[in-house]
Amino acid sequence: MPEILDIQQLAEAGKLTIAIIGGTGDLGSGLAKAWSRSGHRIVIGSRSPERAAELVQGLGNAQALSYAQAAAQGDVIVLAVPFGSHEQALDEIREGAEGKIVIDAVVPLVPPRVATVQLPAEGSAAQIAQRILGPESRVASAFHNVGASKLHLGERVDCDVLVFSDDKEARDVVIKLASQVASRGVDGGPLANSAAAEALTSVLIGLNRRYKVSAAGIHITGLDGDSTDRRDLKK
Amino acid sequence: MPEILDIQQLAEAGKLTIAIIGGTGDLGSGLAKAWSRSGHRIVIGSRSPERAAELVQGLGNAQALSYAQAAAQGDVIVLAVPFGSHEQALDEIREGAEGKIVIDAVVPLVPPRVATVQLPAEGSAAQIAQRILGPESRVASAFHNVGASKLHLGERVDCDVLVFSDDKEARDVVIKLASQVASRGVDGGPLANSAAAEALTSVLIGLNRRYKVSAAGIHITGLDGDSTDRRDLKK
């Protein structure tokens, strides 16, 4: 009899179907490549069928669909659209996202001043996602501070990924997925705390300009072990 | 003839008078000890004359005064009061702070849920400070993520200090002061970006609990040099 794996085990084993909404964007396609290398099946939700087809061809075990169809296919859904498309994308995936972990990676940047923190009145993009998707979805947020360039080069990103959710198991799943693309996932607590990582993105964009670098990131100091997720260490 | 130093040179040389408002608190007294070791003259602004007198005795070149008197004495003023006393303290120091660099280190924690981000409607404590002090003061913000315990032990804190201000020279002065107490100061951009570091404090408090550590902090990765302030490296 085949062993039945729970969602945390599937995440760790690289056996999830991950729907990436906005999957042809810079971050979305970078995450798609990284998780594809970890073995996951990727479903790209896109409004650009040609770019999506091209991306999917390079990934192997992957397909390209509409936002709604991709969400319906995913075990886990990742939202990586520009902030200007955030609410509409959430509306479109709502039905397909019921009962699922939805990882909001959207940063509330307000062009042209993207290096200035301008958080939404609701507190954070993640809290907007929870309002629109409702309590049926297990909303998490993460990957705000991950520069996509290294993902496209096939490297892990030298940046800790702060993971937020009011759902503890969702945080644990996302922490495992984060450790496959970046230094490690770190349990940042409740969804309301997403404001910290979302705001930090504008700071990092500004640091890239002022310090003339391309991929400023963050590392959390003072955690036990200090190079990987504690929960992984305990095994 | 004695050389006349500008405020950046005084900061670097340890020759400022630094007024610390709320200077008997955990962070305030930790900063007082650290900057005193760097040679600065410390003026403690306090509502606890006995604790202030005791602290000042251990510092050497220091004195204890009221908030308003301390502000009037300082070349630079540091605000390290609880968020609940923030607005009143700002009112009291306003006159003494005119024309000066005021470093707001106040984090908008709302007890009892201090590990949950609850930013004020105005965006950040720093923006509240700028509104109350007006354009006559050069408001900066910093030291939100610095755990005071190491300062009390006489050690530098293993944490980068994000520094925010709309006044570039104020940022440069605070970056120099930060490098005397912690890993380094990092130029975080405009005052509005203070929301990122203020929010991060609640995340770090939560990390200390969840990971059972005492001094979670942050390090900015990907900056040139990566162990000290770039501006220092250029010399």
Whether A199 sits inside 8 A of B203 (CB atoms) is no
Residues B192-209 have a mean pLDDT of 98
Strands (E), chain B: 17-21, 41-45, 62-65, 76-79, 101-104, 138-141, 157-165, 182-189, 217-221
DSSP string spanning A38-76?
TT-EEEEE-S-HHHHHHHHHHHSSEEEE-HHHHHHH-SE
* Residue with the two structure tokens 């050690």: B155
Instruction: Flag whether pLDDT at B24 surpasses 70.
Output: yes
pLDDT at residue A147, rounded to an integer: 87
Q: The tokens of B234 are what? A: 């250029």
Which backbone phi and psi does A12 adopt, to 5 degrees?
-70, -35
Q: Is A101 helix (H, G, I), strand (E, B) or coil?
A: strand
pLDDT at residue A231, rounded to an integer: 38
B110, burial (CB in 10 Å: exposed 0-12, middle 13-18, buried 19+): middle
Whether B206 sits inside 8 A of A223 (CB atoms) is no
**A166: which chain B residues are within 8 Å (Cβ-Cβ)?**
none
Write the CB contacts of A42 (distance below 8 Å, at least 6 apart in sequence).
A17, A18, A20, A23, A32, A35, A36, A56, A59, A61, A62, A63
Write the CB contacts of B14 (distance below 8 Å, at least 6 apart in sequence).
B35, B38, B39, B40, B180
pLDDT at residue B64, rounded to an integer: 97
Residue type, A216: A
Nearest to A73 by CA among A95, A48, A104, A49: A95
**Domain A4-212, what fold?**
Rossmann fold (3.40.50)
In angstroms, the CA B136 to CA A44 distance is 53
Using a pLDDT cut of 70, give the percent of chain B over it: 94
Quote the Cα angle for B208-B214-B215, to 5°: 90
Strand B76-79 versus strand A76-79 pairing type: unpaired
pLDDT at residue B228, rounded to an integer: 38
- Residue A102, CA distances (Å) to A4, A147, A196 in order: 22, 20, 19
Q: Is B216 helix (H, G, I), strand (E, B) or coil?
A: coil
Write the CB contacts of B200 (distance below 8 Å, at least 6 apart in sequence).
A196, A200, B144, B145, B218
Residues B170-176 have a mean pLDDT of 98
* Mean pLDDT taken over chain A: 93
pLDDT at residue B2, rounded to an integer: 67
pLDDT at residue A235, rounded to an integer: 32
Sheet arrangement for strand B182-189: B62-65, B41-45, B17-21, B76-79, B101-104, B138-141, B157-165, B182-189
**B184: which chain A residues are within 8 Å (Cβ-Cβ)?**
none
In angstroms, the CA B3 to CA A223 distance is 46
**B158: which chain A residues are within 8 Å (Cβ-Cβ)?**
221-222
pLDDT at residue A2, rounded to an integer: 67
For each of chain A's 235 residues, which pLDDT tens digit applies? Answer: 667 899 999 999 999 999 999 999 999 999 999 999 999 999 999 999 899 999 999 998 899 999 999 999 999 999 999 999 999 999 999 999 999 999 999 999 999 999 999 999 999 999 999 999 999 999 999 999 998 888 999 999 989 999 999 999 999 999 999 999 999 999 999 999 999 999 999 999 999 999 999 889 999 999 975 433 333 333 3
Residues B134-157 have a mean pLDDT of 94
**B147: which chain A residues are within 8 Å (Cβ-Cβ)?**
222
pLDDT at residue A234, rounded to an integer: 36
In angstroms, the CA A121 to CA A128 distance is 10
Candidates A156, A166, A172, A200, partner chain B, best to mutate (most B CBs within 10 A): A200
**B212: which chain A residues are within 8 Å (Cβ-Cβ)?**
224
Candidates B172, B221, B231, partner chain A, best to mutate (most A CBs within 10 A): B221
* pLDDT tens figures, B70-100: 999 999 999 999 999 999 999 999 999 999 9
B209, burial (CB in 10 Å: exposed 0-12, middle 13-18, buried 19+): exposed
Nearest to B190 by CA among B163, B171, B164, B161: B164
pLDDT at residue B229, rounded to an integer: 39
pLDDT at residue B1, rounded to an integer: 60
**A47 with A106: CB under 8 angstroms?**
no
Work out the pLDDT band at B227, boundaries 50, 70, 90. very low
Q: Say what the ipTM of the complex is.
A: 0.92
Element (H, E) at A189: strand A182-189
**A171: which chain B residues are within 8 Å (Cβ-Cβ)?**
none
Q: For chain A, how far is it from start to end, CA to CA, in angstroms?
A: 25
Q: The tokens of B110 are what? A: 């709302």
Nearest to B46 by CA among B30, B61, B26, B25: B25
Q: For chain B, how far is it from start to end, CA to CA, in angstroms?
A: 26
In angstroms, the CA A118 to CA A95 distance is 30
Angle between helices B194-210 and A194-210 (to 10 degrees): 130
Candidates A114, A117, A158, partner chain B, best to mutate (most B CBs within 10 A): A117
Whether B207 sits inside 8 A of A224 (CB atoms) is no
Locate the chain B residue with the closest alpha carbon to A226.
B216
* pLDDT tens figures, B95-113: 999 999 999 999 999 999 9
Work out the pLDDT band at B215, boundaries 50, 70, 90. confident
Residues of A engaging B, defined by a Cβ cutoff of 8 Å: 115-119, 123, 147, 158-159, 162, 186-190, 192-197, 199-200, 202-204, 206-207, 210-224, 230
